[in-house]
């Protein structure tokens, strides 16, 4: 094959699978709504079953359901006939995938599922098949033609089944009011989980690491405090330890440009009294957004009385994998 032939084959394959997905839109009706209602009402797990390529698609659908608020697992139909049927309980719902609708391993399970009283939702390519007829709800995922030129390798049909599975998962996600925070609990080890679960209190530096001086402190002494704590800034606090203002490296450069006498100048005359602060309960990702928006590298963490109880530097967020 020439490189042009490769591209023509790829375009043809993508176009055929796109058409198969487009066809699904015309079949969305009350059956889809009933399937969603059954899955949403499940008090156990959605048990996804499928053989061969349908099984591979089923594994992905189960994973998508589980990560979007619908407890789910994949059970191999052949293994179910040899002991794994015990994994399915009367509280579950079975979601079975079969393009032919006549997969022997799935048909073998039907009497057992009926005996348990387990609702059955199927995704088949043949609405008149044995599996489809036995289902409480069957979703038609048939395709006009496989992208495989031999018409043998499951291609368009597996794509259609996968998309229908995603449609079920997302419909259920929205019905449950599933949030990004809920998603993060299922992905605590990923970047999204860190962004949505970490709070300021989890990554901030403690109170004793926060530089602080009194309003009457000479600027020179304040600079020593800044250098000792290494945050590139110092807080200015009153007698009650409440935050009055902030003085940063940037403020120092501006003070020098204006010819300020470092030894004679009191810190209160050059501090910024409108500094940005955050609380311990704020998401670390929100604190990062504040830093980005105002082009600053550190924030003071305050309590309800505006007393400094910690500090958050950009480097802290970098170490936490947030920036």
Question: What's the CA gap between 247 and 261, in Å, rounded?
Answer: 15
Q: What is the structure's pLDDT at 181?
A: 65
In a structure prediction context, what are the per-residue pLDDT tens digits for the chain, which is 323 residues long? 777 799 999 999 999 999 999 999 999 999 999 999 999 999 999 999 999 999 999 999 999 999 889 999 999 999 998 888 999 999 999 999 999 999 999 999 999 999 999 999 999 999 999 999 999 999 999 999 999 888 878 999 999 999 999 999 999 999 988 776 666 666 555 656 666 678 899 999 999 999 999 999 999 999 999 999 988 999 999 999 999 999 999 889 998 898 888 888 999 999 999 999 999 999 888 898 899 999 999 999 999 999 999 999 999 888 887 76
User: CATH number of the domain at 3-178, please?
Assistant: 3.40.50.10490
Alpha-carbon separation of residue 103 from 124, 145, 159, 161 (angstroms): 10, 19, 19, 15
The CATH architecture that domain 200-319 belongs to is Roll (3.10)
Q: What is the structure's pLDDT at 105?
A: 95
Sequence spans of domains, the chain: 3-178, 200-319
Beta partners for residue 96, in sequence order = 49, 122
């Amino acid at each position: 094959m020439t490189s042009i032939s490769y591209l023509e084959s790829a375009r043809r394959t993508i176009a055929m699978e796109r058409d198969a997905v487009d066809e699904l839109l015309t079949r969305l009706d009350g059956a889809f709504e009933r399937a969603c209602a059954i899955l949403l009402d499940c008090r156990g797990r959605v048990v996804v079953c499928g053989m061969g390529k349908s099984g591979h698609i089923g594994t992905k659908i189960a994973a998508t359901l589980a990560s979007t608020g619908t407890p789910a697992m994949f059970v191999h139909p052949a293994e179910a006939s040899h002991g794994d049927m015990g994994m399915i309980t009367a509280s579950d719902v079975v979601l079975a995938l079969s393009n032919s609708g006549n997969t022997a391993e799935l048909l073998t399970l039907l009497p057992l599922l009926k005996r348990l009283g387990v609702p059955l939702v199927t995704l088949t390519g043949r609405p008149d098949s044995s599996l489809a007829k036995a289902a409480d709800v069957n979703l038609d995922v048939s395709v006009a033609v496989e992208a495989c030129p031999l018409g043998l390798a499951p291609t368009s049909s597996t794509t259609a089944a996968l998309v229908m599975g995603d449609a079920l998962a997302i419909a259920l996600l929205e019905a449950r009011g599933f949030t990004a925070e809920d998603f993060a609990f299922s992905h605590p080890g990923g970047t999204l989980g860190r962004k949505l679960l970490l709070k300021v209190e989890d990554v901030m530096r403690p109170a004793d690491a926060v530089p602080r001086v009194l309003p009457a402190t000479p600027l020179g002494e304040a600079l020593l405090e800044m250098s000792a704590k290494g945050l590139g800034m110092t807080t200015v606090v009153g007698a009650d330890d409440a935050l009055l203002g902030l003085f940063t490296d940037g403020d120092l450069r501006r003070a020098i440009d204006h010819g300020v006498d470092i030894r004679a100048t009191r810190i209160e005359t050059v501090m910024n009294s409108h500094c940005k602060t955050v609380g311990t309960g704020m998401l670390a990702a929100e604190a990062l957004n504040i830093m980005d928006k105002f082009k600053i590298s550190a924030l003071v963490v305050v309590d309800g009385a505006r007393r400094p109880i910690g500090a958050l530097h950009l480097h802290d967020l970098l170490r936490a994998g947030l920036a």
